[in-house]
Amino acid sequence: MDKQDVKRIFAEVEKENLLFANKTFLDNLTLPSKIIGRETKAKELIRFLLGYKQGLVVPFVSVYGRSGSGKSTIVKFVCENLNEDVSYAFVNLRKARTVFGCANLILAELGQPSLKSAQGINTAIEQISNTIEQGLSKKENNTKLFILALDEFDLLLYDKRGKPSDFIYKLLVMEEKLREKGYLMCIIAISNNVMSDYEIDDRVRSRIGTSEVFFEPYKPQTVLALLKDRAEKAFSEPVDSEILRYCAGYSSQEHGDARRAIDLLRIAAEIAGKRGEKISKKHIDQAVGQLQKDRISTTLSSASYHLKLAAAALARKSYLTEEVWHSTSTLYD
């Protein structure tokens, strides 16, 4: 392949994307300009937060529901559109493997450097508290609120060695100390299950209370409205409403996952674009097949012999003992 080949490939791929006017609107990571079908959930969340104007806010809000039900999107949208005297940090804990890793992710979102594990979790909590306090002290209003939104919160609770209950407890104590200084704070935990489904110390349960917002799966008509809104902005030509309805129908079979519906539409359009065709039901069907490919099987089938052995050992220990952590020496044996 030479320079001319790259230019030719570039032109071919560019031609494939002629169906799109702005592909950004089919990106699930992009925050939409407006929310469809979740106004009541936004209202529930705002009701918990708005108490700060009277000097009181709940310390912990559990936001839970199935994947693709709009939890993260609504929390982000609400936080970004609150009053100027409200600050927030949105942290995705999926990137962390340990409790200390979660603390470092929070620090990174607050614009602070990561700490070494040897410095300890108490140092991390202190650094988080100081950064929040410094930020709120710059606000002109007397009433100040900081929201710490922790997405994929349930992943934090799987690190048994890192004592997640202790970490949550320290965050709640940090909230109390900030309140004593005149600064209000609320933690929003976003997860697939309600907090009562997890193993948490009683001292933590009594402090977090029962402030919850449950996101039920999207209804088919709501998914269709979402797709219509995205399609109008994403494509250069209108997409047949019957195609969008067909795509929304697949999503309804998967428990109303709006994220999956948007991915289906995007992949179907990419398949159609490669063939120079308009989007049709057959492209939706092919997109479903592409999304349903077993990535684990595909990866393992091309893995080295030793990687397959290591994966088999880990799977065997995990399924037989029902434990989530194993030492390297155990797997080697």
Domain covering 39-215: architecture: 3-Layer(aba) Sandwich (3.40)
Is the model's pLDDT at 150 over the cut of 90? Answer: yes
Span 307-319, pLDDT tens digits = 888 888 888 888 8
Q: Comparing 39-215 with 219-291, is the CATH topology the same?
A: no
Q: Which DSSP helix (H) or strand (E) runs through 239?
A: none
Query: What's the pLDDT tens digit per position in 173-187?
Result: 999 999 988 889 999
Q: Is the pLDDT of residue 141 over 70?
A: no
Put simply, whether the predicted model's pTM sits higher than 0.95 gets the answer no
Residue with the bigger pLDDT between 55 and 199: it is 55
Residues 157, 196: Cα–Cα separation, whole Å: 12
The whole-number pLDDT of residue 43 equals 93
Work out the average pLDDT over 64-73: 87
Give the residue, 226 or 206, on which the prediction is more confident: 226
Using the predicted structure, report yes or no on whether residue 117 has a pLDDT greater than 80: yes
Split at pLDDT 50, 70, 90, the class of 144 is confident
Domain ranges of the chain: 39-215, 219-291, 295-332
Q: Please give the CATH number for the structural domain made up of 219-291.
A: 1.10.8.60
- Is the Cα dihedral 243, 244, 246, 250 positive or negative? positive
The larger pLDDT score, comparing residue 94 to residue 33, is at: 94
Report yes or no: 93 and 158 within 8 Å, Cβ to Cβ.
no
Q: Which helix (H) or strand (E) holds 185?
A: strand 184-191
Q: Which residue has the higher pLDDT, 141 or 279?
A: 279
